[in-house]
Amino acid sequence: MNDATKKDLRAERQRLYADMRPANLTPLWESLHALVPKSPASPCVPALWRYDEVRPFLARAGEVISAEEAVRRVLILENPGIPGQSAITQSLYAGLQLILPGEVAPSHRHVQTALRFVVEGSGAFTAVNGERATMHPGDFIITPSWTFHDHGNEADVPVVWLDGLDIPTVRLLDAGFAEDFPARQQPVERGEGTNLARFGENLAPMPGDAGARPHGAASPLFAWPYARSRAALERLRRDAPIDPWQGTKMRYLNPATGGWPMPTIGAYLQLLPAGFEGRPWRQTDGIVYSVVEGRGRATIERPGADAPTVLEFGPRDHFVVPSWHTCRLSASEESVLFGFSDRPIHEALAMHREERLDDAR
């Protein structure tokens, strides 16, 4: 085919595309490479939110709007690669919520599944389906889909926690619903700790137990105290080999099924010993991290980038490793990291892929 013929053919194609556009048609062959890529090419980028830099903005937010007026006083951790999307990855939302002494964040429910991971302060509470859980740093709490929940602070110090939700996933599916509770707070129907006693001791109530309420596909246990999780992590660190890629890592689970606590969000807690220099890994689920203890570094390689991004983290900092970005974790001090991702969705759809790479790669 000579150059003139190629030029005429390109012109004919452009006329075809223009003529099709009013009929809401578009040619697949012009976008096939982007729609079906050879490997993931997330628009999200690695990013770090230093708590010492974020905290003053939270304090200012507390001065200009109340928790009740805001409904939820939250600063969104927005990925700089997808500005305006209120998302930290393509499928996950993350934000830092502040509740001041004496405040109440009113009760509501929504289709979106939520988690709370306490970052600063003790003594606030979250109530889920008629039971309260007092919040302490490092505690992990979930709000299953379509369960009423409210927050309050009866302590004398501000409390801040990380919110993680599947908002972008629900938005993609056009499946969002929400409803306010008729009062500011739901009635407390059970004593605090009842849920943990029923489901947190490798025992489960009998079907006739009135407190064994169904939570759909989510865990019936909704609060995991950090003191218990940290002790389990320490025992594993002491008694089992350290994984060269992840250190000592455990996942939170649904005690009724052994699966993930939530059908759309997986959560983890891991310990990196002092001096740990992890090997590189990558996986299709992007991970959001909250630093509980210690200091270290995440070295993240974006596919096709000339140089890696190095994120130096410390206590209460937050960072994100997007999908299929190669990451190495290292720790100058013994460090504990909480993480959450959309891995349950990947696994349910048989799409999850993970690679543990050699240092020589």
**Backbone phi, psi, residue 235, to 5°:** -65, -40
pLDDT (0 to 100) of residue 101: 97
Provide φ and ψ at 237, rounded to 5°. Answer: -60, -40
- Distance, in Å, from the CA atom of 67 to the CA atom of 56, rounded to the nearest integer, reads 17
Would the pLDDT of 205 be above 80? Answer: no
Confidence of residue 25 (pLDDT cuts 50, 70, 90): very high
* Distance from C-alpha of 116 to C-alpha of 127, rounded to nearest angstrom: 12
Sign of CA dihedral 35, 37, 43, 47: positive
Burial class (CB in 10 A: 0-12, 13-18, 19+), 130: middle
pLDDT of residue 318: 98
Give the CA radius of gyration of the chain. 23
Three-class secondary structure of residue 267 per DSSP: strand
Structure confidence by residue, pLDDT tens digits, 275-310: 999 999 999 999 999 999 999 999 999 988 889 999
User: Which residues sit opposite 270 in a β-bridge?
Assistant: 249, 337
The domain limits of the chain are 47-356
CB of 223 within 8 A of CB of 167?
no
Tokens of 257: 């099924």
213-234, pLDDT tens digit by residue? Answer: 556 789 999 999 999 999 999 9
pLDDT for 211 equals 59
Give every CB contact of residue 341 below 8 A, 6+ residues apart in sequence: 92, 265, 266, 268, 285, 286, 287, 288
**pLDDT-derived band of residue 200, with 50, 70 and 90 as boundaries?**
confident
Note whether 73 and 98 are within 8 A (CB).
Answer: yes
The mean pLDDT value of the chain amounts to: 94
Residue-level pLDDT at 170: 97
| Whole-angstrom distance, CA of residue 125 vs CA of residue 67 | 14
Residue 208 pLDDT greater than 80, yes or no: no
Assign domain 47-356 to a CATH class: mainly beta
Close Cβ partners of 332 (under 8 Å, ≥ 6 residues apart) = 274, 275, 294, 295, 296, 297
Indicate the pLDDT class of residue 198, thresholds 50, 70 and 90. confident
Phi/psi at 30 (5° precision): -80, -15
Kindly report the backbone phi and psi dihedral angles of residue 80, in degrees, each rounded to the nearest multiple of 5, phi listed first. -65, -15
The Cα diameter of the chain in Å comes to: 82
Average pLDDT over residues 72-88: 97
Query: Which of 7-16, 33-42, 89-98, 195-204 shows the lowest per-residue confidence on average (mean pLDDT)?
Result: 195-204
Q: What is the pLDDT of residue 113?
A: 97
The answer to whether 46 and 77 have CB atoms below 8 angstroms apart is: no
Average pLDDT over residues 113-120: 98
